[in-house]
Amino acid sequence: MLGVATNGFGTYTSVVRPDGSIYGEGPGGMFTSDGELVSWKGSGLGKFGAGGTISYRGILYFQTASQKLARLNATSGVFEYEVDAEGGTRTKIWEWM
């Protein structure tokens, strides 16, 4: 995150809408290797794909006391979250100001 290595976690709750789209929201966070925390809250829309894949797009809002990541307090993160047929995930986040 902003060039700092992190490990993340989250509790993202989703519901399938009558049209088959997926709405999700929830909190989470990321820890830097030296123990600093960035918390986030986000929401997004998703869809099911072939073979059980899922694709989400959404936005995250950050909060941190970390000096090296303080810029996140004044920005949003637009994300892509992909789940493959084997259950593996990939996340990309872009800074959006």
Listed by start position, the domains of the chain span 15-29+37-96
Tell whether the model's pLDDT for residue 1 goes beyond 90.
no
Query: Which of 51, 63, 62, 52 has its CA nearest to residue 96?
Result: 62
**Mean pLDDT score across all residues of the chain:** 95
User: Phi, psi at residue 51, to the nearest 5°?
Assistant: 70, 20
User: Phi, psi at residue 71, to the nearest 5°?
Assistant: -55, -30
pLDDT recorded at residue 78 = 97
Task: Among 2-11, 45-54, 63-72, 84-93, name the one with the lowest average pLDDT.
Answer: 2-11
pLDDT digits (tens, 9 = 90+) for 53-73: 999 999 999 999 999 999 999
* Mean pLDDT score, 14-25: 97
